[in-house]
């Protein structure tokens, strides 16, 4: 079956060399790169989902200092993971990371597994996170496709401003075809860094891009995205903001919190009750006796 994906317009080797050479000069000094153990990479990938690096750094460093191994985290209540997650957002990630640590201890002797199948069987670990652990922690040859990498390949190789909302078969085929036989893990990190620092979503810096002369999107005159509108996520007044206010009270408390203390942080009673019910249903909050609430297991 013939692929519908247009072929790269440059020699892949030239593309690899240009991006990797740039990475050697421009890469940020990030703690999960300095100490790229499987657990460190796993923690960083959970935290970096939909969260900027600057917000992740202090939480990541405190987390690894407190829980340097999966066993350390699994030994504490899940609520402590939620508390330590702080204001990173999407706190269900903390629950999943705690569940993954427990599964690693119970099923893998406390060591993060190395096979894609075993990794994907862990709570909260999908195809991307498994590939990232294999690539960044083990130096393996895996197709890593985060938002930044997908945007770089869409622009440089296919000539469009943004990739599809979800990874397509053709997109994966292209990424696989561009995976170098050697230095695949460096290629993945370098392409990701290029998307984060230069080929950004809103303000691409084509004037300093190491592959500007190879870029099909630039050569076409930067045509605008012609797919479905890309909507930013609202925050003010949303259920997410309400949930965040409730979680902040529970994280800061040293024991169970009375319902009255939660009621005062959000004026819309119906929305507040809906948000609290959702937190309980997600396992992030435990209802206790006498209308008090606490983080799970704390």
Q: What pLDDT digit, counting tens, does each position of 36-84 carry?
A: 999 999 999 999 998 999 999 999 999 999 999 999 999 999 999 999 9
Q: What is the CATH number of the domain that holds 160?
A: 1.10.340.30
Asked whether residue 192 is assigned to any structural domain, the reply reads yes
Mean pLDDT confidence for 134-157: 96
Q: In terms of domains, do 153 and 282 share one?
A: no
Residue recorded with tokens 């957002």: 89
Q: In terms of domains, do 175 and 260 share one?
A: no
pLDDT band for 11, please (50, 70, 90 cuts): confident
The model's pTM: 0.90
Mean pLDDT of the chain: 94
pLDDT band for 1, please (50, 70, 90 cuts): very low
Domain finish residue from 177, 192, 223: 223
Cα–Cα distance for residue pair 72/70, rounded to 1 Å: 5
The radius of gyration of the chain's CA atoms, rounded to the nearest angstrom, is: 22
Locate 279 and state its tokens: 């937190």
Number of domains in the chain: 2
- The least confident of 8-22, 93-107, 220-234, 242-256 is 220-234
Cα–Cα distance for residue pair 35/254, rounded to 1 Å: 33
Q: In terms of domains, do 100 and 245 share one?
A: no
3-state SS assignment for residue 286: strand
Domain finish residue from 223, 254, 283: 223
Cα–Cα distance for residue pair 135/124, rounded to 1 Å: 18
Q: In terms of domains, do 282 and 141 share one?
A: no
Mean pLDDT confidence for 113-129: 97
Q: Beta-carbon neighbour count of residue 17 at 10 Å?
A: 14
Cα–Cα distance for residue pair 269/288, rounded to 1 Å: 20
Asked whether residue 58 is assigned to any structural domain, the reply reads yes
Asked whether residue 61 is assigned to any structural domain, the reply reads yes
Closest residue by Cα to residue 96 from 88, 159, 20, 264: 88
- pLDDT, residue 234, reads 77
Q: In terms of domains, do 74 and 202 share one?
A: yes
Residue 292: strand pairing partners: 258
Q: In terms of domains, do 37 and 165 share one?
A: yes
Asked whether residue 53 is assigned to any structural domain, the reply reads yes
Asked whether residue 232 is assigned to any structural domain, the reply reads no
Q: What pLDDT digit, counting tens, does each position of 175-209 carry?
A: 999 999 999 999 999 999 999 999 999 999 999 99
Q: In terms of domains, do 196 and 51 share one?
A: yes
> Hey, what long-range contacts does 171-179 have (CB within 8 A, 24 or more apart)?
171/5, 171/145, 172/143, 172/145, 173/3, 173/5, 174/5, 174/8, 175/143, 175/145, 175/149, 176/143, 177/8, 177/12, 178/8, 178/12, 178/15, 178/16, 178/153, 179/141, 179/143
Asked whether residue 40 is assigned to any structural domain, the reply reads yes
Asked whether residue 231 is assigned to any structural domain, the reply reads no
Q: In terms of domains, do 254 and 147 share one?
A: no
Locate 109 and state its tokens: 């002797």
Question: What is the DSSP code (8-state) at residue 43?
Answer: H
**In terms of residue numbers, what domain contains 259?**
239-294
Task: State the catalytic residue, choosing from 45, 80, 161, 171.
Answer: 45
Question: What is the DSSP code (8-state) at residue 229?
Answer: -
Domain finish residue from 175, 199, 223: 223
Mean pLDDT confidence for 241-261: 96
Q: In terms of domains, do 54 and 9 share one?
A: yes
65 among known catalytic residues: no
CA atoms within 13 A on the CB side of 88: 30
Mean pLDDT confidence for 87-106: 97
Q: In terms of domains, do 253 and 288 share one?
A: yes
Q: In terms of domains, do 134 and 34 share one?
A: yes
Question: What is the DSSP code (8-state) at residue 162?
Answer: S
Asked whether residue 229 is assigned to any structural domain, the reply reads no
Q: In terms of domains, do 147 and 246 share one?
A: no
């Amino acid at each position: 079956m013939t692929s519908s994906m247009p072929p790269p317009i440059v020699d892949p080797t030239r593309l690899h060399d240009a991006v990797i050479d740039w990475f050697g000069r421009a890469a940020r000094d990030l703690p999960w790169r300095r100490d790229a153990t499987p657990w460190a990479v796993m923690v960083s990938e959970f935290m970096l989902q939909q969260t900027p690096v600057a917000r992740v750094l202090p939480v990541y460093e405190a987390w690894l200092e407190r829980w340097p191994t999966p066993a350390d985290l699994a030994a504490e209540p899940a609520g402590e993971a939620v508390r330590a997650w702080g204001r990173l957002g999407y706190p269900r990630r903390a629950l999943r990371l705690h569940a993954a640590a427990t599964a690693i201890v119970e099923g893998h002797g406390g060591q993060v597994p190395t096979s894609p199948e075993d990794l994907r069987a862990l709570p909260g670990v999908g195809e991307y996170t498994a590939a990232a652990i294999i690539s960044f922690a083990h130096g393996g040859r895996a197709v890593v496709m985060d938002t930044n990498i997908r945007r770089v390949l869409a622009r440089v190789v296919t000539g469009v401003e943004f990739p599809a909302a979800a990874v397509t078969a053709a997109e994966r085929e292209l990424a696989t075809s561009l995976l170098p036989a050697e230095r695949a893990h460096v290629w993945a990190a370098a392409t990701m860094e290029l998307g984060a620092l230069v080929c950004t979503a809103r303000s691409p810096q084509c004037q300093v891009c190491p592959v500007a002369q190879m870029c099909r999107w630039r050569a076409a005159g930067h045509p605008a995205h012609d797919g479905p509108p890309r909507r930013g996520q609202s925050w003010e007044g949303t259920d997410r903001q309400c949930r965040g206010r409730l979680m902040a009270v529970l994280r800061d408390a040293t024991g169970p919190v009375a319902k009255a203390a939660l009621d005062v942080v959000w004026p819309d009673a119906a929305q507040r009750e809906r948000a609290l019910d959702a937190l309980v249903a997600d396992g992030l909050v435990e209802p206790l006796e006498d209308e008090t609430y606490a983080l799970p297991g704390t």
